[in-house]
Amino acid sequence: MAVHDTAQIENATLGTVEIREYVTIHDADIDDGVQIYERASIKKATIHGPTDVNANTYIENATVGESVQIGPNASIVGVTHDLTDTGMEFQNDTFDEIVIENGAFVGAGAVVLPGVTVGENAVVGAGTTVAEDVPPETVVRSATETVRRSL
């Protein structure tokens, strides 16, 4: 296990992992073989290994499968606020877990919204915002374009 001395780990279980500079991990379970790169933040999540979480990534309220790659600056955020007739409820979080299944790839700068499942071996292209489930073996390249992968 290699955890950089600038990392902040609170209430987390870590396997044999590599955690780089200025990473924060709170209320999470991180399995063997996970690599977490600089300035990533992980909260209320389970990450199975082996998996790579690239620099500046934010993950909250998510389960991440094995052999997943998450690109830099991605946001996987399973927390939101209810919208009422009067607007968003201030400081009243609503949690809707995100699942990233085995072998999936989430590209650089992608955003996966609450309640979404990214299927096994699916690809979320760089810069894509995902508001609906992504079926297994599918490539999502933009908010309006989905392509079935051929294996």
- Domain at 22, CATH number: 2.160.10.10
Question: 144 pLDDT band (50/70/90 cuts)?
Answer: low
Whether the per-residue pLDDT at 82 is higher than 80: the answer is no
Do residues 100 and 116 make contact, with C-beta atoms less than 8 angstroms apart?
no
Question: 88 pLDDT band (50/70/90 cuts)?
Answer: confident
Active-site residue flag, 4: no
Do residues 17 and 32 make contact, with C-beta atoms less than 8 angstroms apart?
yes
Domain of 29 in residue numbering reads as 2-148
Dihedral (CA of 54, 39, 57, 15) sign: positive
> Of the residues 4, 26, 48, 81, which is catalytic?
81
The whole-number average pLDDT for the span 31-41 is 98
pLDDT given for residue 146 in this prediction: 54
* Distance in angstroms (rounded) separating the CA atoms of residues 61 and 40: 15
Q: How many domains does the chain have?
A: 1
